[in-house]
Amino acid sequence: MRTKIALLVSVFLMLLGLIWISSGVQAAPTELLVAYPSPTPQPNGQIIYIVKANENCETISLIYGVSVDYLRNTNQLNATCDLREGQKIQLGVGGPSFASPTPGPSPIPTVAQPTSTPGVGGNAEVCVLVYNDVNGDGLRQATEVAVSGAAISLTSLNGAYSQTLTTVINPDKTVYQGMCFTNVPMGKYNVSAAAPEGYNPTINLTSSADVTAGDIAFINYGAQVKTVPAADIPQNKPSSLLGIIGVVFLLAGIGMGMYVWSLLRRK
């Protein structure tokens, strides 16, 4: 009779251990995937975004590369940049020309070649725009706005001209959000950019430009926000404890089973 009871107890302990181990595995937290919405520009070019619950100026600035000052000044917000759920705010205004991807295979990101606008006499201008390439395809969409804090450089091949600027978001720029090098002598130049802190480049940030007097060259560079682990994810500490307890029960069940087996052998 004692042997049967011991056998039943060992089986029960092993089953209980397996249940605890299984519950510990299921309790492990899963990785959260964060989807960033892409606002659609209005017919007048304004890029409007609808504030979601628990969002603030800092989180929107990080995702879309628009400075907090720009959000505050453009949308006439208070000093603390308070937002409410459902509020419509302007992220920027679409530029003069944007590439729209056509249906088909995913494009291979390439360095944006400068496009020139003919002018009359004098020196040239070279305008560089570093934008938040949200989808990382290397092609600027109407919803992908300029980012600040990127260092852009323009250097002539003969070394006679070299200048560096830092991109800023200027609320007064209602059409073009890029930075322009003015009074550039005609010639061949290397154009480069360094992605701002918190961004990774999505295309090669170096290209060449051959400008003539009176031309205006436009160059776009894409940079994407670095992947940041979702904050404030509760860590499920009891899951590891459940696994340990399950192993203990399992070992106890195995030990009890061996004890019963030894009793049976003696008989």
In a domain, 169, yes or no: yes
Tokens of 95: 């530029």
Same domain, 15 and 79: no
Q: What percent of the chain has pLDDT over 90?
A: 12
Q: What is the tens place of the pLDDT at every residue in 84-143?
A: 898 988 877 654 444 444 555 555 554 555 554 444 446 888 989 899 898 888 888 878
pLDDT at 266: 67
In a domain, 221, yes or no: yes
Q: Does 257 or 31 have the greater pLDDT score?
A: 257
In a domain, 34, yes or no: no
Same domain, 163 and 262: no
For residues 226 and 203, give the distance between their C-alpha atoms in angstroms, rounded to a whole number.
Answer: 14
Same domain, 52 and 15: no
pLDDT at 159: 87
Q: What is the tens place of the pLDDT at every residue in 28-43?
A: 444 444 545 556 666 6
Same domain, 18 and 131: no
In a domain, 165, yes or no: yes
Same domain, 10 and 65: no
Q: How far are the Cα atoms of 27, 28, 29, 30, 234 from residue 237, in angstroms, in the given order?
A: 9, 9, 10, 13, 9
Same domain, 217 and 252: no
Vertex 114 angle, CA 109 and 118, to 5°? 155
Domain residue limits at 140: 46-101+114-225
Question: Which CATH number is 56's domain given?
Answer: 2.60.40.10
Residue 245 pLDDT level (bands cut at 50, 70, 90): confident
In a domain, 96, yes or no: yes
For residues 7 and 262, give the distance between their C-alpha atoms in angstroms, rounded to a whole number.
Answer: 11
Same domain, 18 and 58: no
In a domain, 54, yes or no: yes
Bridging pattern class, strands 124-132 and 46-50? unpaired
Among 41-55, 163-177, 217-231, 232-246, which is the least confidently predicted range? 232-246
For residues 59 and 203, give the distance between their C-alpha atoms in angstroms, rounded to a whole number.
Answer: 25
In a domain, 39, yes or no: no
For residues 257 and 66, give the distance between their C-alpha atoms in angstroms, rounded to a whole number.
Answer: 67
Same domain, 248 and 218: no
CB 249, CB 10: distance < 8 Å: no
In a domain, 132, yes or no: yes
Number of domains composing the chain: 2
Same domain, 67 and 185: yes
pTM reported for the whole predicted model: 0.44
Same domain, 155 and 251: no
Q: How far are the Cα atoms of 18, 30, 34, 232, 240 from residue 26, in angstroms, in the given order?
A: 12, 10, 22, 20, 11
Same domain, 23 and 75: no
Same domain, 254 and 144: no
Query: The dihedral of CA 249, 250, 251, 252: what is its sign?
Result: positive
In 3D space, the residue among 145, 184, 150, 180 whose CA is nearest the CA of residue 166 turns out to be 150
